[in-house]
């Protein structure tokens, strides 16, 4: 009969071999993803972009490709700051949840208790509209209401009275209707409840304690960054990309679209959303955001996602996509010249950040490729690494 020590030695060697094979397989998979990222940007002619992959509470890989601005040599790096557009909604939802946990406000608070002059066309809907409906995209008002006025740089004080002319499609809380202007109304509620400016609260409660060193809110803060990406558009389909001015419009609704960040900042954000920073965000303040509130049937037909999704919902500030029997939590963002995507799986303890400085469907091609490959992998994976700053930079 083999000696017990010899048996333990053989088992240890076997485990080390398996761990080495798993690490090699994971590295190979990330190398393939990096190649796909670069080739997709080249195929679509996107000027530049960056990505970050997280796993098991650490940043596993960061990649960057291209330039910050067409015609200039400065490359996109892991530190390059982009506009994150509607990814900002995840921060507004999380800040609201923190204040709810502290009994400073409630999810079912009426919006008119903070904005008494605000009106919808339907008086009953006006009374029923709650904070959770703003953050959960279930206001009942036609989707993207008055975004055209935001694009025309009209101030909110001129836009908000227009909602009194809109007949709701459904009562608040009963259907999905995506908003930017209405979503932003959570900002005044937060400020009145906490007695501080929205921008200061996000920095104090989220950016700073999570080590999001380059994250900020607002156009002025973005333009102050020396390592920032420029926005690019195509003047006509199939033409070259052209840099454009940084638009003010959606910065007028900070909770909906005001955050600037680099991929490292957003990777740390996803790590916190997965429960690895309970000192800042406890499970109790994350959990409400991940509950399925309203179905988003239209998302089942969304571009490259349609082949993967079995169901889709909106929670509070997060989309919830079901692939097979697994849920992904994600949000995309788009403003003139920029697109952004963050996504993560609690089940797989993995996540992805993608930031591009050109409006392109390359974004969804990159993200869906990552999750298609990820979900094809069996669980569990062997945990590797010990800290969120252990990552390999691909450039």
The domain in which residue 306 lies consists of 27-86+222-239+260-394
pLDDT (average), residues 155-173: 95
* Residue 265 in domain: yes
pLDDT (average), residues 366-371: 98
Q: Three-state SS for 295?
A: strand
The band of 28, judged by pLDDT with boundaries at 50, 70 and 90, is low
pLDDT at 383 over 90: no
Q: What percent of the chain has a predicted confidence (pLDDT) above 70?
A: 88
DSSP state of 206: I
* Residue 118 in domain: no
Looking at the DSSP assignment, which residues form a beta bridge with residue 340?
333, 355
pLDDT (average), residues 207-215: 98
pLDDT at 122 over 60: yes
The pLDDT tens digits of the residues spanning 252-290 come to 999 999 999 999 999 999 999 999 999 999 999 999 999
pLDDT at 7 over 90: no
* Residue 361 in domain: yes
**Comparing C-alpha atoms, which of 378, 387, 373, 390 is closest to residue 32?**
373
CATH code of 356's domain: 3.40.710.10
Q: What percent of the chain has a predicted confidence (pLDDT) above 90?
A: 85
Tokens of 206: 């989220």
- What pLDDT is recorded for position 10? 45
- What pLDDT is recorded for position 26? 53
* Residue 68 in domain: yes
**Comparing C-alpha atoms, which of 138, 143, 90, 85 is closest to residue 111?**
138
Among 16-25, 40-49, 223-232, 263-272, whose mean pLDDT is lowest?
Answer: 16-25
* Residue 187 in domain: no
Number of compact structural domains in the chain: 1
pLDDT at 192 over 70: yes
Model confidence, pTM: 0.90
Burial of 390 (C-beta count, 10 Å sphere; 0-12/13-18/19+): exposed
Considering only residues 23 and 307, tell me which one the structure prediction assigns the higher pLDDT.
Answer: 307
For residues 237 and 244, give the distance between their C-alpha atoms in angstroms, rounded to a whole number: 16
* Residue 78 in domain: yes
The pLDDT tens digits of the residues spanning 219-262 come to 999 999 999 999 999 987 767 899 999 999 999 999 999 999 99
* Residue 166 in domain: no
- What pLDDT is recorded for position 6? 60
* Residue 248 in domain: no
Backbone angles phi, psi at 169, to 5 degrees: -80, -30
**Comparing C-alpha atoms, which of 100, 95, 89 is closest to residue 255?**
89
Considering only residues 5 and 57, tell me which one the structure prediction assigns the higher pLDDT.
Answer: 57
The pLDDT tens digits of the residues spanning 311-368 come to 999 999 999 999 999 999 999 999 999 999 999 999 999 999 999 999 999 999 999 9
- The overall average pLDDT reported for the chain is 91
CB 81 within 8 A of CB 225: yes
- What pLDDT is recorded for position 235? 81
């Amino acid at each position: 009969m083999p000696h017990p020590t010899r048996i333990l030695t053989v088992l240890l060697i076997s485990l080390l071999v398996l761990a080495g094979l798993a690490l090699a397989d994971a590295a190979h998979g990330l190398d393939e993803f990096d190649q796909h990222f670069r080739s997709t940007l080249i195929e679509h002619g996107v000027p530049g972009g960056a990505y970050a992959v997280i796993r098991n509470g650490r940043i596993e890989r960061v990649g960057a490709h291209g330039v910050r601005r067409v015609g200039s040599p400065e490359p996109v790096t892991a530190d390059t700051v982009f506009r994150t557009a509607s990814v900002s909604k995840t921060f507004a939802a999380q800040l609201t949840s923190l204040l709810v946990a502290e009994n400073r406000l409630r999810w079912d608070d009426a919006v008119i208790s903070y904005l008494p002059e605000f009106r919808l066309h339907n008086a009953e809907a006006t009374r029923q509209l709650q904070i959770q409906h703003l953050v959960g995209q279930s206001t009942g008002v036609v989707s993207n209401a008055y975004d055209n006025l935001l694009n025309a740089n009209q101030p909110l004080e001129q836009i908000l009275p227009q909602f009194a002319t809109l007949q709701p499609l459904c009562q608040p809380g009963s259907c999905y209707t995506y908003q930017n202007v209405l979503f932003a109304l959570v900002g005044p509620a937060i400020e009145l409840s906490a007695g501080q400016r929205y921008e200061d609260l996000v920095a104090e409660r989220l950016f700073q304690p999570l080590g999001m060193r380059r994250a900020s809110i607002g156009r002025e803060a973005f333009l102050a960054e020396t390592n920032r990406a420029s926005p690019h558009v195509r003047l006509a389909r199939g033409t070259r990309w052209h840099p454009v001015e940084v638009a003010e419009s959606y910065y007028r609704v900070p909770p909906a679209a005001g955050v600037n960040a680099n991929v490292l900042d957003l990777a740390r954000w996803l790590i916190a959303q997965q429960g690895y920073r309970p000192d800042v965000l406890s499970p109790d303040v994350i959990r409400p955001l991940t509950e399925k509130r309203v179905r988003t049937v239209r998302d089942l037909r969304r571009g490259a996602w349609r082949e993967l999704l079995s169901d889709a919902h909106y929670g509070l500030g997060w989309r919830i996509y079901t692939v097979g029997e697994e849920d992904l939590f994600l949000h995309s963002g788009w403003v003139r010249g920029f697109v952004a995507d963050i996504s993560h799986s609690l089940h797989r303890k993995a996540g992805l950040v993608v930031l591009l400085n050109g409006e392109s469907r390359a974004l969804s091609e990159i993200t869906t490729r990552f999750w298609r490959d990820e979900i094809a992998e069996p669980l569990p994976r062997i945990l590797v690494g010990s800290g969120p700053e252990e990552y390999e930079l691909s450039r």
